[in-house]
Amino acid sequence: MRTIFIEGVSGVGKSTITQELCRNLNEMGHPTKCYLEGDITNPIDFYYTACFTQREYESLLAKFPDCLDVIKNNTIVAKDVHLVRYYDNKTPLFDEPLLSLLRERELICNPINPVPLPDYTSIYKSVWEKFANEAAGQFDFVLFDGSLLHHPINDLTRIYSASSQEIIFHVNTLLSAVQKLHPQIIYLSSDNVSKRLQSAQISRKKPLLQAEQIQFWENRKETDLAVMQRISIPYPYDMYDISNEDWNSQISEMAARILETEEERRARIYPIVLREYNPDYPLWYAEEKAKLEGLIGAENIARINHYGSTAVPGLVAKPTVDILLEIKEDVDLKHIAELFPSPEYFCQWRDMPDDPLIIYKGYTSIGFAKKVYHVHVRYPGDWDELYFRDYLIAHPETAAKYAALKCKLMHDFENDRDGYTDAKGAFIRTVTAIARS
């Protein structure tokens, strides 16, 4: 089962897309459930919900024995927290005086007495963990309308005036709670937020927004994008420009991407790309070398080398700086991996004794960043890659043959990185053997 969050600022069509994408996936034979804004059955998002501790909840039940069943039927329990829903959209579920008592304990909808921000995050984490534990296997996909970014960030800014770091922490806490459900974000964007907002207001038969309201949502979009850059899950989001309102093709593309395998997704967003030599590559290496020494500590490092095609002046290359980081024999490899902060760095463990750990940097959910690094962490050794690098530097004619081979293979293996690497193997092994001799 996978969890998909449909996000974007107000007016971009989140609810419509959520429903249509749900219908599309079901028609394709993938059991899918969706929850829209205001849905009282939403297991992770709350509208008009009162919050009680265990003791407070027991007191509530004792005070209103005639409403016992109705209260329990509208309660979500997560650890020692009890959340009581008291409205279904615009319809109250209880009469006075219970309704007013519940209103006094409101969690997010203009709360009279807001819970402290750490408690707010803790409550949501407990509820999301409960959902993750109970929902697994019920559907192939569950779609949520605005439940990860849209509503929580509104609450965090409106109720708590939360900082960007507090918002990022809250969102990543929620994602970690549903990690087993492989969360993914579909972000709906428009190149003209104002136009989309006013169009939505007209379709909803509501007054046009004032300039300050439009500015709020333009700022919200910037906040969303900044938060998504700091989300700590692999491939966290796909962005779609809905400015042209080409809904059918967009939904078809969304469904196709949701159904991709991890290998297919990597191949699509990280294709083989070759560029002419960039004289800034040595500077990129020097910058990262200094950062590695700061992260790991020079006392733990035996040697650092820049290798690969970006280390050969004039050579056509993938714009990726390969770094060989050799750590001292008495240093624990797992400890080194823990020193690389996520999501800036991503660790891959491999069943290869001579090359067990690669640290990736510069891979975003929508493609490559400007600077991309592969850091191979190994214990000291006599490495073929360094012989190959030095031979190409010393023999430009061999480097030219290698460049021609790579350009040919790029067209044959544009979306097959492993195939591209394997196809270069014979040439590299031959040249390395000559270099070693």
pLDDT at 87 over 90: yes
Strand partners, 301: 327
DSSP state at residue 130 = H
Strand partners, 358: 348, 376
Residue tagged 């093709």 (tokens): 249
Residue 234, pLDDT score:
66
* Separation of alpha carbons 222 and 9, rounded Å: 10
pLDDT at 414 over 90: no
* Separation of alpha carbons 417 and 272, rounded Å: 6
**What single-letter amino acid sits at 389?**
R
pLDDT at 372 over 70: yes
Domain extent listing, the chain: 2-37+117-259, 48-107, 281-436
Q: Which fold has domain 2-37+117-259?
A: Rossmann fold (3.40.50)
Grade residue 231 by pLDDT with cuts at 50, 70 and 90. Answer: confident
Establish whether domains 2-37+117-259 and 281-436 are of one fold.
no
Residue 93, pLDDT score:
95
**316-346: per-residue pLDDT in tens?**
999 999 999 999 999 999 999 999 998 789 8
Quick one: tokens of 158?
């409106």
* Separation of alpha carbons 141 and 143, rounded Å: 6
* Three-class SS state of 159: helix
Quick one: tokens of 313?
């002046």
pLDDT at 242 over 70: yes
Grade residue 203 by pLDDT with cuts at 50, 70 and 90. Answer: confident
* Separation of alpha carbons 8 and 242, rounded Å: 10
* Separation of alpha carbons 360 and 231, rounded Å: 16
* Separation of alpha carbons 247 and 284, rounded Å: 41
Q: Are strands 75-78 and 87-88 parallel, antiparallel or unpaired?
A: unpaired
Residue 343, pLDDT score:
78
Higher pLDDT, 262 or 51: 51
Grade residue 434 by pLDDT with cuts at 50, 70 and 90. Answer: very high
Contact present, 284 and 306 (Cβ < 8 Å): no
Give every CB contact of residue 294 below 8 A, 6+ residues apart in sequence: none
Q: What are the angstrom distances between the C-alpha of 330 and each of 224, 351, 355, 365, 391?
A: 44, 21, 17, 36, 32
* Separation of alpha carbons 275 and 258, rounded Å: 31
Grade residue 124 by pLDDT with cuts at 50, 70 and 90. Answer: very high
DSSP state at residue 216 = H
Residue 19, pLDDT score:
97
Residue 196, pLDDT score:
86
Mean pLDDT of the chain: 93
Residue 399, pLDDT score:
97
**154-180: per-residue pLDDT in tens?**
999 999 999 999 999 999 999 999 999
pLDDT at 365 over 80: no
pLDDT at 309 over 80: yes
Percent of all residues in the chain with a pLDDT value above 90, rounded to a whole number: 78
Q: What is the CATH number of domain 281-436?
A: 3.30.460.10
Pick the closest to residue 239 from 1, 5, 3, 2 (CA basis). Answer: 5
Residue 288, pLDDT score:
98
* Separation of alpha carbons 34 and 18, rounded Å: 7
Residue 155, pLDDT score:
93
* Separation of alpha carbons 78 and 250, rounded Å: 37
DSSP state at residue 365 = T
Pick the closest to residue 59 from 92, 82, 93 (CA basis). Answer: 82
Determine the average pLDDT of the residues in 376-389. 97
Residue 416, pLDDT score:
84
Residue 246, pLDDT score:
85
* Separation of alpha carbons 224 and 218, rounded Å: 10
* Separation of alpha carbons 248 and 24, rounded Å: 10
Determine the average pLDDT of the residues in 193-219. 89
pLDDT at 235 over 70: no
Determine the average pLDDT of the residues in 183-195. 91
